Amino acid sequence: MSREIRSLIDLGTASVKVLVVELRERKTHIWGHGYAPLAGGYGPGGEIVDREAVAAACDAALTAAEDMTLESFGHKIVPDQSLWSVPGWLCRGQTLSLRQRRPRPEKSISKREQRDFEARLERAVEHLADRPLDIISTIQVEGQAVTEAIGLRGESLSLQAFIVSANSQTLDTLQKIAAALKLEPPAFVSQARAAMAALSRGGVILDIGRWGTGIVAATNSEQLTVAGWASLGGQSLYRALLNGFGLTPAQLPDFCRAYSQGHLPPEIVRAADAALVDPVNRWLDLVVEQLPARTVEASLPHQIYLAGEAARLPAVLLGARRYPWMQNLQWSRHPEISLWQPSGVSDLKNHSTRVWNTSDLVRLGLARLILDIR
């Protein structure tokens, strides 16, 4: 029986995370996972300036994931094919809208008419300055979204596409890194699309990394509408705890773990909550700047999910629930805020030793997404 084996590579601001997976029977079987810290690979603008450092971190994470398959799978798996998520700060999201009035609205839309209309979008995409990674389009007849316009009637035909693109130089650099790792030419998707695939329904995702936050809005698990990035992440929150409690960097992980799991004395918990009020509000202010302002045409899905390691700090969820979200943004109804749960990702079978948590959003999203794009 032939097996489809892939490496899934999630580049973060401070680490690289990898899964080794097998695609079988409409499920993604996870056989290995790996992690490696990454420091010094990016420049001040987030661009990749040290290709060797990024390649070394990817190699370490890949090796860890492949070594795990020896026990979980029965022998070591070293995939040649890979899917990479391109970091949010290296991507740009934008919307293109096309509309045409049909001269004969009583006539059914033909396959050729729809194909010619979709070709207009293809021509528009060709003129973008950056290289498209993900194109998510919706076709409408008389203003109503449909999965298929052929056979329908109406005066107007419109097409709206949300496009996530990346600089060609960035993608060329990633391809060279893959070649250095002896991988076949890789497939790329945006971290926003991977995060979207980790949702079972629509919502806004705030994925808090060490140095920044990925911001995604999706009307459902297939319709991406926002792909943004805020240049403030967990490090600002950790710094507040370091300063507020006189901790050393070595002591910080244990303190955060105890704080997140409710193992600290009540007076220490209250002090930690108070120390994080201002940093959390500053972070949320930056997040809101990346979301579309109030409009009458559209609203944001009301579910907000927090992901990432720092999302487990109780003050983050508490601050998000107290934040005045309704002040400048249009929501379908009053926002409901919760931690993203890995158990909501469908069609995955975990054979590794990893117990998934909120920091695994993108790589589990990749594991779900690869079923649809292989």
Per-residue pLDDT at 34: 97
Residues 178 and 44 placed together within one structural domain of the fold: yes
Residues 362 and 287 placed together within one structural domain of the fold: no
Residues 254 and 324 placed together within one structural domain of the fold: yes
The closest alpha carbon to 18, from 62, 51, 48, 83, belongs to 62
Instruction: Determine the structural domain holding residue 223 and report its residue range.
Output: 203-339
Residues 100 and 75 placed together within one structural domain of the fold: no
Residues 177 and 42 placed together within one structural domain of the fold: yes
Which of these three, 112, 147, 165, is where a domain ends?
Answer: 165
Residues 78 and 192 placed together within one structural domain of the fold: yes
Q: How far apart are CA 117 and CA 140, in angstroms?
A: 12
Residues 314 and 207 placed together within one structural domain of the fold: yes
Query: 304 near 206, Cβ under 8 Å?
Result: yes
Residues 248 and 310 placed together within one structural domain of the fold: yes
Query: 33 near 17, Cβ under 8 Å?
Result: yes
Which parts of the chain sit beneath pLDDT 70?
Answer: 1-3, 221-222, 293-298
Residues 182 and 268 placed together within one structural domain of the fold: no
Strand order, beta sheet including 203-208: 223-230, 213-220, 203-208, 303-307, 336-339
Tell me the pLDDT tens digit for each residue of 129-144.
899 999 988 888 988 8
Per-residue pLDDT at 117: 87
Q: How far apart are CA 21 and CA 349, in angstroms?
A: 10
Residues 32 and 180 placed together within one structural domain of the fold: yes
Q: What is the CATH number of the domain that holds 104?
A: 3.30.1490
Q: How far apart are CA 259 and CA 156, in angstroms?
A: 56
The closest alpha carbon to 72, from 354, 263, 310, 320, belongs to 354
Quote the tokens at residue 115.
């194909």
Considering only CA atoms, give the Rg of the chain: 22
Helix (H), strand (E) at residue 122: helix 111-126
Q: What is the CATH number of the domain that holds 70?
A: 3.30.420.40
Number of domains the chain is built from: 3
Tell me the pLDDT tens digit for each residue of 64-102.
999 999 999 999 999 999 999 999 999 999 888 889 899
Per-residue pLDDT at 221: 62
Quote the tokens at residue 316.
């983050």
Residues 334 and 273 placed together within one structural domain of the fold: yes
Per-residue pLDDT at 230: 94
Q: How far apart are CA 122 and CA 114, in angstroms?
A: 13
Residues 19 and 67 placed together within one structural domain of the fold: yes
Which of these three, 165, 185, 220, is where a domain ends?
Answer: 165
* Percent of the chain surpassing pLDDT 70: 97
